[in-house]
Amino acid sequence: MNLQTKIPLQTQQFNQVDYNSKVLLLGSCFSENIGEKFEYFKFQQLQNPIGILFHPLAIERAITNAVNEKEYTKDDIFFHNEQWHCFDAHSRLSHPSEDQLLHVLNDSITRTHQFLKEASHVIVTLGTAWAYRCIETDNLVANCHKLPQKKFLKELLSVSQISESLDAIMSLIKTINPKMSFMFTVSPVRHIKDGFIENTQSKSHLISAIHEIVEPRYHSYYFPSYEIMMDELRDYRFYTDDMLHPNATAINYIWERFLEVWISENTQSTMKTVDDIQKGLAHRPFNSESDAHQTFLQQLKTKEIFMQSKFPHMTF
């Protein structure tokens, strides 16, 4: 008896991710869920250097600024609730010090630009098609930073706006890295604060726009994170207590489906060794001075040295 409908996925034949790949992850909080997996398994990765970005035009602006090596100045930031903020960045970058915020912003630009030139893959996770326009500047913002709602106009990005933005993202990156592979996905997190019907509208715009621009011949692909959550994991036991975000079980499941498509079998065997080391490092012994534990630590160190000899970027 089959109690689940599974989305058929085909193993990617070209451009798979391995330990020589460099992966940039951009977008919603779900991109960080997947980014944490890349980090745990010691892939070369950079995730959301300017913080979580929910809508595609915010991601496009981040890429534009990184490619063009924009330098943030005092004109780009503002003071609110005893902190300095930037409309281009997530609030986790905000800081009580004006100079410190500018340093963090410009450092993120430098790191992203350099990483883009060397990267092999960009994974873009779109969260919502709803965006907020600052009335004073007439610009769409990446984050409202809890300013009064009357300062913004809420608008739904059209399918054509989104597809043009995604196309611009790819074109911009190709100016400094023509060999880049692009993977787009839609976050399974439901933005119910926009409304139930509005969330469905939003996700449908994102999905339609992505399918207008993905083309494997040009190294742009779609991975169905949203569909896996909505269909294969169609049960509230796969959500956190807020009933909106996928829980650890769901994230692990989607990650495993991702592995089927994008990670080669040889790479997965290396991941198994990394996982053994990570679990060993997390182990807490009953007696840290025992001979058995000292032997265990020596074996663990030998594994670490072996992995670092093969992949110098790995640090444990």
Question: Would you call 196 exposed, middle or buried from its count of C-beta atoms within 10 A (0-12, 13-18, 19+)?
Answer: exposed
pLDDT tier for residue 4 given thresholds of 50, 70 and 90: confident
What is the CA angle 141-145-148, rounded to 5? 95
Domain ranges of the chain: 22-263
The length of the chain in residues reads: 316
Read off the amino acid at residue 173.
I
Give the model's pLDDT for residue 285.
Answer: 87
To which H or E segment does residue 46 belong? strand 44-47
CA–CA distance, 209 with 232 (Å, rounded to integer):
23
CA dist., res. 202 & res. 212, Å (int):
16
Distance CA 181, CA 122 (A): 6
Question: Would you state the pLDDT for residue 289?
Answer: 87
Q: What confidence score (pLDDT) does residue 111 get?
A: 98
CA distance 94 to 79: 10
Rounded mean pLDDT of 115-131?
98
For residue 222, which amino acid is it? Y
Residue entry with tokens 């592995």: 259
Using DSSP's 3-state secondary structure scheme, residue 105 falls into helix
CB 239 within 8 A of CB 246: yes
Q: In this structure, what token pair is assigned to residue 210?
A: 């992505």
Are 90 and 142 contacting, i.e. CB atoms less than 8 angstroms apart? yes
Residue 109 sits at φ, ψ, to 5 deg, of -65, -45
* CATH number at 22-263: 3.40.50
DSSP state of 124: E
Over the chain, what is the mean pLDDT? 96
pTM greater than 0.75: yes
What percent of the chain clears pLDDT 70, i.e. is strictly above it? 100
**Mean of pLDDT values over 242-267:** 96
Structure tokens of 271?
A: 């991941």
CA–CA separation, 21 vs 17, rounded Å? 6
